[in-house]
Structure 1
Amino acid sequence: MRRTALAVGLALLGLIWGGPLISTWRGSFASHMLAHMGVVALAAPLIAIGLSNYSRSWRIPGWAPIIASLVELAVVWAWHMPEMRLLAETSTFVTAIEQAMFLVAGLLVWIACLHQPPHDMRPAAAGAFGLLFTSIHMTLLGALLSLSPRPLYGEGTVTCFGLELSANQDQALGGVLMLLVGAVVYLAGALWLFARLLREPPAISTGHP
């Protein structure tokens, strides 16, 4: 299963980076967002699961999920500033840096949050909090983008998925994609870890006072 997850995650990266999302449709914010969510919310967790046999032996501190989620917060919000978005739209080199940072940030979060040493549930609690926090800030950003009364990224019309959209429609669609994919996937991961915490029986001490 882990090998399959790794293979699917890498194949998904190839489709995202080699397809029209960041080439033919690179001027579309919705296309950018679909690529972004595909990298951090689909490919990254699959790759993290695929690497879990190796990462299980890594010494990952208990606070790592919190730090990783803060790193992703900084990366995501920085690259969605209008000036940074314009740079990525107009430069293939900057787009490559952007996508690489999305992947690294996503892997940091998922590897840290899914790292579950045997007989220790504290990492699951930290991981659940890290994923929940990430879901919250993606929900906030997605809502801001969807509900903004004016376009933040360019003017005029763009072509995305074969459709011609106004800048405001394109931005709103991008925000909805962030809500439907990113926020939901991270929330699902957090709920899975919370459920694991609830299923785990409490440790019973066998020592004597």
Structure 2
Amino acid sequence: MPASLIAYCGPAGTPQDLWLRWNTDPLLLAALAALACVIASGRSADARAGWLALALMVVVFVSPLCALSSALFSARVTHHIILIAVIAPLLARAFPLPRIPSPPLVPVVAAHAVIVWLWHAPGLYTWGLATVAAYWLMQATLLGSAWLLWRSIFAPLVQTGVALMALVATIGQMGLLGALIVFSPRPLYVVHFASTAAWGLTPLADQQLAGLLMWVLAMVPYLAAGLWIAWSSLRAGEPAL
């Protein structure tokens, strides 16, 4: 695979053409339209969360962010952060599927961590962008494991302390991965080598920016969720007046 070409999102976006690079894949648009119909029909537990998730899915898959993520590893990491830390919890709120038993939280946290680390290993990352099938396997496993994680965290019977520990563990493993990427002495993600210069970055600078995003920015949704869970628990424990 040429270093400047990603199988699904196409050639790397440049500053000159980026805003013209919208993804109009008919199958993708049909899937998003089907999701919109499900939300509009009232079959989601939280319609507002469902619509927000749908809007963000348009951002990561349809908007020029798709083409930008072909050019920059930092854009791809931003895509992944939005997918697993924002879209996934919104989908977990919109579609908790309460009739399906939730698996134990510890294995879910571990499985999600393994999936995140595997897809950001340089070789598997490059393979995940080499074909359309591999690209969607990457997206499905990242989103699916994150949805299971957030669904278990939000489950009504899960203890507050257990949910908070799951969030802390997830922040910790993503921060460690981000730190390893930041402090790598050489660029690792060869698929982006030919396209970073157009954006005024070296491959190593792009990689370091991506690591910082995963290390720092990615923790914000998890911290926000933890504060919300803790606050909700305290309010539930307040005696009625």
Fold agreement, TM-score > 0.5 = yes
Does 1:141 pair with 2:177?
Answer: yes
- AA of the residue aligned to 2:57: L
C-alpha RMSD over aligned residues: 2.5
Q: Provide the residue aligned with 2:36 in structure 1.
A: none
Taking every aligned residue pair, what percent have the same amino acid on both sides? 28
Question: Is the CA contact 1:158–1:166 (under 8 Å) kept in the aligned structure 2?
Answer: no
Task: Describe the SS at the equivalent of 1:19.
Answer: coil
**Which residue, out of 68, 72, 76, partners 2:108?**
68
Displacement after TM superposition at 1:169 (Å): 0.9
- Give the structure-2-normalised TM-score: 0.71
Does 1:193 pair with 2:237?
Answer: no
**Which residue, out of 75, 92, 97, partners 2:132?**
92
Aligned-partner Cα distance in 2 for 1:112–1:129: 12
Q: 1:93 to 1:164 in 2, by over 3 A?
A: farther
Name structure 2 gaps, 5 residues minimum.
1-44
Q: Deviations over 1:81-117 (max 9, x none)?
A: 1101111233222111101111101101100001114
**Which residue, out of 99, 103, 120, partners 1:80?**
120
Question: Is the CA contact 1:158–1:164 (under 8 Å) kept in the aligned structure 2?
Answer: no
Question: Is the CA contact 2:68–2:75 (under 8 Å) kept in the aligned structure 1?
Answer: no
Q: Provide the residue aligned with 1:106 in structure 2.
A: 146
Displacement after TM superposition at 1:186 (Å): 1.6
Aligned-partner Cα distance in 1 for 2:150–2:159: 12
Task: Describe the SS at the equivalent of 2:189.
Answer: coil
Aligned-partner Cα distance in 2 for 1:75–1:69: 10
Displacement after TM superposition at 1:153 (Å): 1.1
Does 1:158 pair with 2:195?
Answer: yes
Name structure 1 gaps, 5 residues minimum.
204-209
Aligned-partner Cα distance in 2 for 1:199–1:4: 23
Task: Describe the SS at the equivalent of 2:195.
Answer: strand
Q: 1:21 to 1:94 in 2, by over 3 A?
A: farther
Task: Describe the SS at the equivalent of 1:148.
Answer: coil
- AA of the residue aligned to 1:180: V
Farther off after superposition, 194-203 or 37-46: 194-203
Aligned-partner Cα distance in 2 for 1:132–1:97: 27
Displacement after TM superposition at 1:149 (Å): 1.9
Does 1:48 pair with 2:85?
Answer: no
Q: 1:36 to 1:149 in 2, by over 3 A?
A: same
- Give the structure-1-normalised TM-score: 0.81
Question: Is the CA contact 2:175–2:216 (under 8 Å) kept in the aligned structure 1?
Answer: no
**Which residue, out of 156, 159, 174, partners 2:210?**
174
Displacement after TM superposition at 1:199 (Å): 4.5
Displacement after TM superposition at 1:24 (Å): 5.1
Q: 1:21 to 1:159 in 2, by over 3 A?
A: farther
Aligned-partner Cα distance in 1 for 2:210–2:128: 16
- AA of the residue aligned to 1:60: S
- AA of the residue aligned to 1:19: S
Question: What is the aligned residue count?
Answer: 194
Q: Provide the residue aligned with 1:15 in structure 2.
A: 59
Displacement after TM superposition at 1:166 (Å): 1.0
Q: Provide the residue aligned with 1:124 in structure 2.
A: 160
